Structure 1
Amino acid sequence: MPDVRTHEPDDHDNAYAGLLVNDAHWAFGTDFEDPLAGVDTTVPDGVDPATLATYCLMLGDDALVLSQRLAEWCSNAPDLEEDIALSNIALDLLGQARLLLARAAAADGSQVPTLPDSSPVPDEDRLAFFRDAPQFRNVRLAEVPGGDFAQTVVRILLFSSWRLALLDRLNQSRDAVLAAVAAKAVKELTYHRDFAGRWFLTLARGTDESRRRLVAGLDALWPFWTELFETHDVERAAARSGVGVDPADVAADVEAVLDQVLAASGVERPAQPPHAADHGRDGRTGRDGEHTEALTALLAEMQVVARAHPGGQW
């Protein structure tokens, strides 16, 4: 891989080269360079900053929360190769989350949690560690408990197929940061989807037990499937202004990919209706801050150190 500090790429790569500086240093603390240093963060003409920021939070929270779920597999996967693969997928999503949360903060600083003036915590960390569950905008597929390895494979397949289709179109965003993030993330998500697709086929054609677990995992996650394509008002506004993508517009493409995987593996779609996941009050979903109890527990574990030491330096 070329060194992004010396590489001379095209326009898209130039933007992302700035984003990649110190990309490995995603952690609560200080002494890390601004992840958007050298990148034009001007909000495009005609775009509402609050809408852009909330849209970035939605995409960033999706990646952040699923990254935490996948990190739970570290040292617990079936073998070392899969342990490393799942950890790398988690790190890819964590890197996407950092950039998207930083973009949200740059677009609309009013959405960043307020800490004491002496606190050195950067904006993206404030968004990650100092919001409560109702302030998170991730889809609920990302937050539910991990289950066994087969269910994790199903979740990665569903999530990455959907996110890949979204970010492939987000390449054309009028926002320079979103376009640059999407350009890099498409390559990562292609690997995520292929990893999950291969394992889905392997488990489906393996033993009776591996197939049973795979089908059970699909049944467990299926209620959250159509939420991925339900367009929130913020997503609709972002798409109309040319900075975002309406998830309903990618539904047909994603369904076609899923159909191919199911056909190749001989697995049928679950009999239960995909809308079986209870919506919250007035039809609210994850995009509205309506979550399962699992997110509260996940955030409590993820945020405990940062909240205990808001003035800490690491």
Structure 2
Amino acid sequence: MSTANIDPNKGDLFEFLCRMGDNTLVLGHRVSEWCGHAPVLEEDIALANTALDLIGQTTLWLDLAGKVEDAGRDADRLAFHRDVWDFRNLLLVEQPNGDFGQTIMRQFLFDAWHLSQLTALMESSDAQIAAIAEKSSKEVTYHLERATDTVIGLGDGTEESHRRMQNALDLLWPYVGEMFVADAVDEAMVAAGIAPNPASLRPAYDTLVNDVFTAATLTRPESDFGHRGGKSGKRHSEHLGHMLTQMQWLQRAYPDATW
């Protein structure tokens, strides 16, 4: 990663921090939807713990974003009082849970990128970002290990579990490419030595997922077409709006309520 000592535009840094926080917020809420509904008790507990980890990371990223913005918004206000077009999460994380296989495949595809991103951010020129990345990476290491084992177990399991995992991979793969496409915000972060060039993470990502797919007897889709627009806020799927309606309704109905 570049170590150039360049002060980034405050708006670009705010956008980048929102991207990190919105990814974990949206995926954390999605995973939490399994609480009380997972196939077995062990998975119910594991998914709930994963969701809690992600929401905890969200607080760190969005609190820092609020401080950078300096407009009186903390993590709660950024999470519960922004509209759908203000969110900067990847399209992948807002996709519905589907069946258990789809949820695990989404988790694996995200975790494989997330851990490499956090590992790079541990070398960030911004000490606060590096500290958040170091703390978060410990949790995400476990997330990736668990998702990897489950993808392999289900992919190389029964005929039905294999079919479901292949269907999940085919459905979600078109959302992977967005993670590795740079825009002006990414370029500003690279120039300041804050974050890696997204494209630089792709080779290691491909090696990891290809090894896992081989072990899981899954076939990686041939097309590398990637939907875009989520992290820039230019385009979200219809699913995010429905999710935010559920996630934000209490704060919207009772603004600034205290307990």
TM-score range, shorter chain: over 0.9
Asked if 1:47 is matched to 2:28, the reply is no
2-structure distance, mates of 1:247, 1:88: 28
Cα distance per residue 1:247-304 (max 9 Å; x no partner)? 1111111111001101112211024x23264x5xxxxx10121100000000010000
Structure of greater Rg: 1
Aligned with 1:301 (options 224, 246, 249): 246
8 Å Cα contact 2:176/2:226 also seen in 1: no
2-structure distance, mates of 1:311, 1:149: 36
2-structure distance, mates of 1:199, 1:94: 22
2-structure distance, mates of 1:195, 1:174: 31
Aligned residue number for residue 223 of structure 1: 174
Asked if 1:165 is matched to 2:116, the reply is yes
State the shift of 1:228 in Å: 1.1
1-structure distance, mates of 2:168, 2:194: 34
2-structure distance, mates of 1:286, 1:78: 30
The residue correspondences of 1:68-79 to structure 2 (distance < 5 A) are 68-79=29-40
State the shift of 1:179 in Å: 0.6
SS at match of 2:98: coil
Asked if 1:260 is matched to 2:205, the reply is no
Aligned residue number for residue 275 of structure 1: 225
Task: Tell me: CA distance 1:111–1:288, structure 2 relative to 1, closer, same or farther (3 Å).
Answer: farther
8 Å Cα contact 1:224/1:274 also seen in 2: no
The residue correspondences of 1:170-185 to structure 2 (distance < 5 A) are 170-185=121-136
**What is the TM-score when the length of structure 2 is the normalising length?**
0.94
Aligned residue number for residue 232 of structure 2: 288
8 Å Cα contact 1:163/1:189 also seen in 2: yes
State the shift of 1:245 in Å: 2.1
1-structure distance, mates of 2:72, 2:239: 24
Cα distance per residue 1:17-56 (max 9 Å; x no partner)? xxxxxxxxxxxxxxxxxxxxxxxxxxx8623222211110
8 Å Cα contact 2:57/2:136 also seen in 1: yes
Cα distance per residue 1:215-264 (max 9 Å; x no partner)? 01111101101111111211121121011222111111111100110111
The residue correspondences of 1:192-203 to structure 2 (distance < 5 A) are 192-203=143-154
RMSD: 1.4
Q: Which amino acid aligns with 2:243?
A: L
The residue correspondences of 1:100-115 to structure 2 (distance < 5 A) are 100-110=61-71, 112=73
2-structure distance, mates of 1:111, 1:132: 17
Q: Which amino acid aligns with 2:218?
A: V
**What is the TM-score when the length of structure 1 is the normalising length?**
0.78
Aligned residues: 254
Aligned with 2:75 (options 124, 127, 141): 124
8 Å Cα contact 2:177/2:226 also seen in 1: no
Unaligned runs of 5+ in 2: none
Q: Percent identity?
A: 41
